[in-house]
Chains A and B, each alone.
Chain A
């Protein structure tokens, strides 16, 4: 499908002075596409030239349109010598390649020079006329975009692609060309590879019958000598346009609820779906009529972009594993895929390996026969890799969550036979994916959600990681969940669903943490009808044959099914999961020394080390989680980085108290005390842990409903508490027979380890998480500030304590920095660690500061608790097999009291039970905040919003306009003059953001969501006064209207219930083609790393 590209150069402003004598510039512009170049006239003696050029036309293949960037270069004309470069503008044409809409790129772009940064701005217009194309056999994939979020009709499955090319920096010619030429060659190369990759992905998607990619993640691996690898993973889907008459929105069903239900479902039905209709049907109908224009209206508000994933891993008792047992975990150069256990990473697996298998070669926990999922999931088994890259899944999609599954391997880059061909890397990833898949099967799960791939390169060593959350998913969705699915095998899933759902998944769902103040009364009515979906947490494997030692207990919600004591996941907290209190960020940081070596020895050493680090990471995470009084982790991200002498690893996740899982008990320390000194410090530590645990429970409001009475002077309440506790303890004791949370401390080193567990408290007014939404805080009203922070410095000594200090320091100074914004939630905190030099650590941190609005009333806190109580209560009533009658009674009684207090507060109640009133009085002063200035969200944000989140609080997404991915290089030979490394880096970051904003604006958008900054590579040679920095950024361009903006579209009254919404979506999956079915599910959960050396 050939097309005509038209470019017009309008003007420039604020150009640099190129002629010292006149202090002016004679500027002209070269417009280059592929090999064709057009030039404007020279506009003499002006810093603000106006060319108003004609339209330059380029007749091109659409394949080129996708692969090639449009390159616009601004130069200063010089009669006698070579023209001087002022700077360049690169424009990615992919967003223009929609057939449905005539889009134009029109706006001011910063003129960027790799040696000088931004030098003025250029106004250009770009249009593309595409000729219609009837040839079905397409070379290109015009029209398939790679967005990161939207509404989905069918899920087709995992897609991946990988392209390789030379790195111009390492070509021989680089020795003789200027830095600028080298940087520009590189930038063009990045841009071309990215275009090529997206086109190939697009083709694959079309082949599968999809029309969009979600959960798209594109990464650059700078391998150095062996080239640049650009790879992407995503999930192919079919999107449907959000039209008023479209089946999705109008169809009756549980996933799309009528607005009337909003009280129970405050998050999505009223605000999101309603908004979509409002936003799109009137204004957009003409513009996006075709289902092919996939991404037009993602209501990102409702569907958090799947950039990550969740993974859950049930964990075993801490005390049960010890690293010593892991020795068998690593094997080098075992490339046999048939015996899968090469991975090593899943926490579970670590545990398993440790305790059950001596050698991973024999297949991890072979001895624990794992059970295949009860129901044959043929459709999903037909997928070669049943992976889903989204981290937010539609309600009903997840059935059970198993645990985190991980595979890692260490490779040597200088042993690649054909560095220019992608085959070798394809093989590497295939091995890892296969391993992840088999790990998932071992957990009784048939799918992996929240799937992520990551690399870390240090010289010739590359660590490849693939991880995700093993889960049982429901691809067809329940019948009442409307989304018509394309999947052929729907009945299969229905069967499975029946089994799972019957008697345990009531039709209604409840999002507990939503702010319901306005609808308190309605809420109370609805509570009986709606019961949280606790099945998510139920174990997917059989409890008679555990894949690894795990402590099971009955689900605290339904009390019928077994749940693990702890759940680790890489996904966003599912909307339907009932949670208690608020969530918070939990981070484990490990730092180890290694010997300086190279080649194979080095690789071996690294891979030897990894399992232990992984083990330590999980242990630290688990302990921190328990001290926080929580029991599940979401959004888990793990990153390794290898230096010459150091290996570091950082795991970041958001801890949450999931209602179905048992409450963690207070920490206890055991251990022999060889001398009094240790004993004293042990006791001290015990005390501090205890205090932290109690404080955290208060801070995060984690008390079970019955326990909230603790603070009541009411004697009877205290009695209740005691008996409740007793009851709970009884249960735990009968199940586990031991304390759940024990720290073993044998020597000083352990004490140190344990003291790391005590995070400094977060100052008041701040909430921190690494998920898109802040669990337990729903009244987020406006974006305050997207921030990126880069820290680089010496690591004092290679200890975990020193390493942790860096992060703690970064957090503390972040709080200080953002002090004027409290109360606020810092969401999507993302870390990137690197060891750029010996002993030097670089940590890049990005995140979004979101303003917290006024909590509706003081009673609100009670309300958030009530659903818990109410639901468990009603559940218990309906349940048939409740053994513990006493417990049940207490709970019920408690609920009544709560309800009473609630009603009385609303002053509409007929209850005037003294007790209720009293407990209310007790609560109100405690909960009512001191003079806190909450954010109102009334001011629409400024200019172009950039956010790592998939949604904008207080805004409605109207259009999806395209995906941006830039890899920008900046170099300087005058570091000192630019304010040192700090000044250089600071202005470069600001420039990168400015370039992003300009592209968003030129596409007609006003926000960039799912923004990520990766590959922030800073190299400096201060002696030469020279420095170079590379940054890769990407995100989705959207157009939004702000609720508070008077000019925006009229909004329905309910829309002010702030943006904590999630969209109901149903997915159907039609596995496009037969794939090799892997029935030989090998139980591959061993910890092992593989060093493949290509040379042998």
Chain B
């Protein structure tokens, strides 16, 4: 019956429940129905029309706000809506929050319009409403486009330009990093890996391998790119797969972990150490080729994780082995005598250990 029915206040008050439902992609009508089921009407003796009108008021505010939320720095500056700083922070944080399942689908893909149009599949698969998928896609794309070309720390850039919490900024950093380096994450074999796994790995790599890592000598390049010098230096690790060093390494490792591994793992290791070690070193030396870099996760799964799984290693086994594998080599003369090599070894093994442990879901 009403053609116009609006409510505007001097202060824009946000109902977190309605906001969440809006973010989840429900229409005003659906939101009102959900709220109705939650018993809000009985609680306040209202009719559904009132609830709907109230919801629509909120939705209109969100509609206007969304323009600013796309560029969160404006949320604080804009004069149109008076919102408390705490609420502003909440609005931004929630707006940029995402469903791991949705983002997992987007990982490593080119963020094109075509991709955006194909979100229906993502929506079907994840059971997240399409509208919400679109928002998440747009957010990822927006963050990516904004920080893509920026110098300095990726996480800090995201925090400055999107005013996000540390936690969320790190997740976005991981997404940007993976997308930027076009890591392969979509292969079927990688399907079991969750979004947090990738976040962990990406952040490890950003911390230790990128231009912003503490070991990087010149920090003037972009964070999301890997330290090229380091990748080239990784080739020097090949020396460890030479027979004499490989044997020395094997003996030392077996000694160090004696009695700590589960039986099956110990047997496997005894037979296969050389293969395993060679694989890891090969991966390292290949990383300066962008193709192989892209396949990093696949290589890990193919060449390390799957064999270990077949040998029924526990996660603890993996942990103990990798720890020993890294530490023992540092004591070897060939590494110790070459400080450059030692550093590269530490930088490499520290990161992959952490990644592999995270990625190892027995």
Interfacial residues, chain A to chain B (CB-CB below 8 A) = 13-14, 108, 110, 118, 121, 763, 785-794, 796, 812-817, 819-820, 840, 842, 941-947, 979, 981-983, 985-987, 989-991, 993-994, 997-998, 1018
Whether A990 lies near B80 (C-beta < 8 A) is yes
Give the segment of B8-16, B178-186, B198-206 that binds chain A: B8-16
Residues of chain A lying within 8 A (CB to CB) of residue B12: 990
Q: Given contacts A812-B50, A816-B50, are A790 and B6 in contact (CB under 8 A)?
A: yes
Q: Which B7-66 residues have a C-beta within 8 angstroms of A?
A: 7-13, 44-47, 49-51, 53-54, 56-57, 60-61, 63-64
Q: Which B267-314 residues have a C-beta within 8 angstroms of A?
A: none
Whether A787 lies near B63 (C-beta < 8 A) is no
Q: Beyond the given A812-B46, A997-B10, please list 11 additional residue pairs across the A-B interface where CB-CB is below 8 A.
A: A14-B77, A14-B78, A108-B79, A790-B5, A792-B3, A812-B47, A813-B54, A816-B51, A945-B10, A983-B60, A993-B10
Whether A986 lies near B46 (C-beta < 8 A) is no
Distance between A118 CB and nearest chain B CB, rounded to angstroms: 6
Whether B44 lies near A793 (C-beta < 8 A) is no
Residues of chain A lying within 8 A (CB to CB) of residue B61: 986
Residues of chain A lying within 8 A (CB to CB) of residue B84: 942
Contacting B63 at CB < 8 Å: which of A14, A979, A998? A979
6 shortest A-B CB distances, which residue pairs? A792-B4, A793-B2, A786-B10, A989-B8, A813-B50, A816-B46
Nearest opposing residue in chain A for B51, CB measure: A816
Residues of chain A lying within 8 A (CB to CB) of residue B80: 110, 118, 990-991, 994
Listed residue (B4, B7, B50, B74) with the most chain A CB atoms within 10 angstroms of its CB: B4
Q: For the complex, what is the distance from the CA of A1077 to the CA of B326, rounded to whole Å?
A: 108
Whether A14 lies near B60 (C-beta < 8 A) is no
Whether B4 lies near A813 (C-beta < 8 A) is no
Residues of chain A lying within 8 A (CB to CB) of residue B5: 790-793, 982
Q: For the complex, what is the distance from the CA of A946 to the CA of B79, rounded to whole Å?
A: 14
Whether B60 lies near A987 (C-beta < 8 A) is yes
Distance between B95 CB and nearest chain A CB, rounded to angstroms: 18
Whether B60 lies near A817 (C-beta < 8 A) is no
Distance between A298 CB and nearest chain B CB, rounded to angstroms: 21
Q: For the complex, what is the distance from the CA of A452 to the CA of B333, rounded to whole Å?
A: 99
CB pairs A–B below 8 angstroms (22 shown): A13-B77, A121-B77, A121-B78, A785-B9, A787-B7, A787-B9, A788-B8, A789-B8, A790-B4, A791-B4, A792-B4, A792-B5, A793-B4, A794-B1, A812-B50, A816-B44, A941-B11, A942-B84, A944-B10, A979-B63, A990-B80, A991-B80
Listed residue (B2, B8, B56) with the most chain A CB atoms within 10 angstroms of its CB: B8
Q: Does B115 contact A (CB under 8 A)?
A: no
Whether B51 lies near A998 (C-beta < 8 A) is no
Listed residue (A121, A796, A840) with the most chain B CB atoms within 10 angstroms of its CB: A121
Contact with A along B59-89 (1 / 0, CB 8 A): 0110110000000001001111111100000
Whether B6 lies near A789 (C-beta < 8 A) is yes
Q: For the complex, what is the distance from the CA of A945 to the CA of B10, rounded to whole Å?
A: 7
Q: Given contacts A108-B79, A817-B54, A942-B84, are A993 and B8 in contact (CB under 8 A)?
A: yes
Distance between A811 CB and nearest chain B CB, rounded to angstroms: 11
Residues of chain A lying within 8 A (CB to CB) of residue B82: 942-944, 997
Listed residue (B10, B46, B83) with the most chain A CB atoms within 10 angstroms of its CB: B10
Listed residue (A763, A814, A816) with the most chain B CB atoms within 10 angstroms of its CB: A816
Whether A789 lies near B7 (C-beta < 8 A) is yes
Distance between B193 CB and nearest chain A CB, rounded to angstroms: 37
Q: Given contacts A13-B77, A990-B8, are A979 and B60 in contact (CB under 8 A)?
A: yes
Whether A819 lies near B44 (C-beta < 8 A) is yes
Nearest opposing residue in chain A for B77, CB measure: A13
Could you tell me how many residues of chain B have their Cβ less than 8 Å away from some Cβ of chain A? 37
Q: Looking at chain A's contact residues, is the secondary structure mostly helix, strand, loop, or mixed?
A: mixed
Q: For the complex, what is the distance from the CA of A40 to the CA of B360, rounded to whole Å?
A: 63
Distance between A258 CB and nearest chain B CB, rounded to angstroms: 37
Interfacial residues, chain B to chain A (CB-CB below 8 A) = 1-13, 44-47, 49-51, 53-54, 56-57, 60-61, 63-64, 74, 77-84
Nearest opposing residue in chain A for B82, CB measure: A943
Q: For the complex, what is the distance from the CA of A769 to the CA of B51, rounded to whole Å?
A: 24
Whether B53 lies near A813 (C-beta < 8 A) is yes
Distance between B84 CB and nearest chain A CB, rounded to angstroms: 5
Q: For the complex, what is the distance from the CA of A786 to the CA of B13, rounded to whole Å?
A: 11
Q: For the complex, what is the distance from the CA of A121 to the CA of B74, rounded to whole Å?
A: 11
Distance between B14 CB and nearest chain A CB, rounded to angstroms: 11
Q: Given contacts A121-B79, A986-B57, A987-B60, are A785 and B2 in contact (CB under 8 A)?
A: no
Q: For the complex, what is the distance from the CA of A944 to the CA of B1, rounded to whole Å?
A: 35
Q: For the complex, what is the distance from the CA of A787 to the CA of B12, rounded to whole Å?
A: 10
Whether B10 lies near A946 (C-beta < 8 A) is yes
Q: For the complex, what is the distance from the CA of A987 to the CA of B60, rounded to whole Å?
A: 8
Whether B1 lies near A793 (C-beta < 8 A) is yes
Nearest opposing residue in chain A for B2, CB measure: A793
Listed residue (A786, A796, A993) with the most chain B CB atoms within 10 angstroms of its CB: A993
Residues of chain B lying within 8 A (CB to CB) of residue A819: 44
Residues of chain B lying within 8 A (CB to CB) of residue A942: 11, 82-84
Contacting A981 at CB < 8 Å: which of B1, B3, B11? B3
Contacting A983 at CB < 8 Å: which of B44, B63, B78, B81? B63
Whether A982 lies near B4 (C-beta < 8 A) is yes
Nearest opposing residue in chain B for A796, CB measure: B1
Contacting A14 at CB < 8 Å: which of B4, B11, B74? B74
Nearest opposing residue in chain A for B84, CB measure: A942
Residues of chain A lying within 8 A (CB to CB) of residue B2: 791-793
Q: Given contacts A793-B1, A794-B1, are A763 and B10 in contact (CB under 8 A)?
A: no
Residues of chain A lying within 8 A (CB to CB) of residue B83: 942
Q: Given contacts A789-B7, A987-B60, are A763 and B45 in contact (CB under 8 A)?
A: yes
Q: For the complex, what is the distance from the CA of A1051 to the CA of B46, rounded to whole Å?
A: 43
Distance between A105 CB and nearest chain B CB, rounded to angstroms: 15
Q: For the complex, what is the distance from the CA of A985 to the CA of B47, rounded to whole Å?
A: 24
Q: For the complex, what is the distance from the CA of A833 to the CA of B89, rounded to whole Å?
A: 39
Whether A985 lies near B6 (C-beta < 8 A) is yes
Q: For the complex, what is the distance from the CA of A985 to the CA of B2, rounded to whole Å?
A: 14
Q: For the complex, what is the distance from the CA of A346 to the CA of B292, rounded to whole Å?
A: 92
Q: For the complex, what is the distance from the CA of A812 to the CA of B41, rounded to whole Å?
A: 12
Residues of chain A lying within 8 A (CB to CB) of residue B78: 14, 121
Residues of chain B lying within 8 A (CB to CB) of residue A993: 8, 10
Distance between B340 CB and nearest chain A CB, rounded to angstroms: 46
Q: For the complex, what is the distance from the CA of A789 to the CA of B44, rounded to whole Å?
A: 20
Nearest opposing residue in chain B for A842, CB measure: B4
Whether B9 lies near A786 (C-beta < 8 A) is yes
Nearest opposing residue in chain B for A943, CB measure: B82
Residues of chain B lying within 8 A (CB to CB) of residue A791: 2, 4-5
Distance between A69 CB and nearest chain B CB, rounded to angstroms: 19
Distance between A591 CB and nearest chain B CB, rounded to angstroms: 16
Whether A985 lies near B10 (C-beta < 8 A) is no
Q: For the complex, what is the distance from the CA of A794 to the CA of B1, rounded to whole Å?
A: 6
Listed residue (B7, B64, B74) with the most chain A CB atoms within 10 angstroms of its CB: B7
Whether B60 lies near A813 (C-beta < 8 A) is no
Residues of chain B lying within 8 A (CB to CB) of residue A941: 11
Distance between B314 CB and nearest chain A CB, rounded to angstroms: 52
Q: For the complex, what is the distance from the CA of A790 to the CA of B3, rounded to whole Å?
A: 10
Distance between A782 CB and nearest chain B CB, rounded to angstroms: 12
Q: For the complex, what is the distance from the CA of A108 to the CA of B78, rounded to whole Å?
A: 10
Nearest opposing residue in chain A for B6, CB measure: A986
Q: For the complex, what is the distance from the CA of A222 to the CA of B296, rounded to whole Å?
A: 73
Q: For the complex, what is the distance from the CA of A466 to the CA of B217, rounded to whole Å?
A: 83
Listed residue (B9, B53, B56, B81) with the most chain A CB atoms within 10 angstroms of its CB: B9
Residues of chain A lying within 8 A (CB to CB) of residue B6: 789-790, 982, 985-986, 989
Nearest opposing residue in chain B for A121, CB measure: B79
Nearest opposing residue in chain B for A822, CB measure: B44
Nearest opposing residue in chain A for B7, CB measure: A789
Q: For the complex, what is the distance from the CA of A993 to the CA of B5, rounded to whole Å?
A: 18
Distance between B28 CB and nearest chain A CB, rounded to angstroms: 11
Whether A110 lies near B79 (C-beta < 8 A) is yes
Whether B79 lies near A785 (C-beta < 8 A) is no
Distance between B80 CB and nearest chain A CB, rounded to angstroms: 5
Residues of chain A lying within 8 A (CB to CB) of residue B7: 787-789, 814, 817
